[in-house]
Chains A and B, each alone.
Chain A
């Protein structure tokens, strides 16, 4: 299917796919969108918000959501240019908003940008957490034993069991990692391991290694806003664990549904880049 059609046709009036809750589209957000002030505000807002519940009694996170798309350019603060929209850092800890790379690792992103194709260009799965802020829509569905996240981008998905269980064996490596979830009060906490580490955080080639351990927290702060926090722990690459936080805003468009993004099937950018001498990023 052509991308033009996919992008043009997002309102499917007759589908009535149902989000369970029907929040008031006019509700103004409780907290600002800029990551650091949002993070500070969201912690108080979440404590004062009576989150709607599913029939299982867990917070109802279901619906269509969208993260800060500019961050797929660079998760650190970056200026607006001819190529980039620009925006503030997603990193809230450390407070200076920079990735705490070890000395050997800090020059690598700028070197890798010159050497490798951004793994998103050939439509590879964006991994965690980049899938949450690539510029497309995501959908959350819940049943008694699972939270399912569907990503429009390259039709990836994450099945997050919320029942007790073990992670996969260490030899199994996945683009999207292996997720296990649990509820802590009104927060969905997801432990993500078993990464291929062939993904980047962004077009700036910020990276983690296959030793990375990721912990995500999803909390509703108002009817149309999720507070998303993700802590990245990788003792091979960073001097300390670090955390990003940003809002996922609800898409309240009536009758909205995810469409199939047949990304690889229409992708024509990678081969010319390979011809110019770029390589596929092998991971670290």
Chain B
């Protein structure tokens, strides 16, 4: 799995199918393109209060989206920020290195359990295992501070994500993430998308330090 990978879709804007739209506060040239969505069945099974919260989030997305403050985007959102990420494998772990905010995930594959501690992480705590050629990653201990996209889709601190990374060819991988959160949804639901290997011979992960650029915009 080692190499530099990237998604090619509009999930960063909205994980569900959506029309083109101008994003509040941005020039028209940065408008959101239409997209077919990455949610299985294109339906997110919100509890009724949560559907109302999502609509409220959507209305206020320009200021309420944690991405506006350049915060760590959580899992699975970090996968489809539209920036590349590099996978490196070691004997006891797989390390995912994201260009976006130089975020890092260490996925322990040594059979160790999640830490039995009252600690929350923006990117959760990841424990992996191999099922044949698939890396299955159990991610827990999230904050309630992250969203799934720029359209207000959200979760609570009870979020539990089960990711599956499956090689489907020399330069392609299938990424699937099952989402559980009994505080927000009525049942488990799933997103999936291909990951594409960057083909440039000397491709490197660079930097995208969103928050380091923000102060220069201040008046």
Residues of chain A at the chain B interface (Cβ within 8 Å): 1, 5-6, 9, 12, 14-18, 20, 122-125, 141-143, 146, 148, 150, 154-157, 159, 165-166, 168, 172, 174-176, 178, 198, 257-260, 262, 264-265, 270, 274, 280
CA A159 to CA B97, docked complex, whole Å: 9
**Cross-interface CB contact of B90 among A143, A260, A262, cutoff 8 Å:** A143
Does B116 touch A at the CB level, under 8 Å? yes
Q: What distance in Å separates the Cβ of B131 from its nearest Cβ neighbour in chain A?
A: 21
Taken together as a complex, chains A and B put the C-alpha atoms of A173 and B190 apart, in Å, by 38
Do most interface residues of chain B lie in helix, strand or loop, or is the interface mixed?
loop
A residues less than 8 Å from B90 (CB atoms): 141-143
- On whether the beta carbons of B122 and A17 are closer than 8 Å, the reply is no
Most buried by B among A146, A156, A259, A265: A265
User: In this complex, which of A18, A123, A124 has the most chain B Cβ atoms within 10 angstroms of its Cβ?
Assistant: A18
Chain A proximity of B4: nearest CB distance (Å): 10
B120 on interface, CB distance cutoff 8 Å: yes
Chain B residue total in the interface (Cβ 8 A): 43
Q: Indicate whether B53 reaches chain A with its CB closer than 8 angstroms.
A: no
Interface on chain A toward B: helix, strand, loop, or mixed SS? loop
CB distance from B155 to the nearest CB of A (A): 17
Partner among A15, A156, A174 whose Cβ is within 8 Å of the Cβ of B108: A15
B residues in contact with A9, CB < 8 Å: 117, 119
B176 → chain A, closest Cβ, in Å? 24
Q: In the complex, how many residue pairs between chain A and chain B have their CB atoms under 8 Å apart?
A: 108
The listed residue (A16, A156, A174) touching B112 by CB distance below 8 A is: A16
Chain A residues contacting B72 (CB-CB under 8 Å) are: 260, 262, 265
- Is there contact, CB below 8 Å, between B212 and A124? yes
Assess A280 versus B211: contact at CB under 8 Å? Given A17-B93, A157-B102.
no
Q: From residue 160 to 214 of chain B, which have CB atoms closer than 8 A to chain A?
A: 202, 204-207, 209, 211-212
Which residues of chain A are within 8 angstroms of B209 by Cβ–Cβ distance? 124-125, 175
Excluding A18-B92, A142-B90, 19 further A-B contacts by CB distance (< 8 Å) are: A5-B119, A6-B119, A14-B112, A15-B115, A17-B108, A17-B110, A125-B212, A141-B95, A146-B88, A157-B104, A159-B204, A172-B206, A198-B212, A259-B119, A260-B72, A262-B121, A265-B69, A265-B145, A280-B215
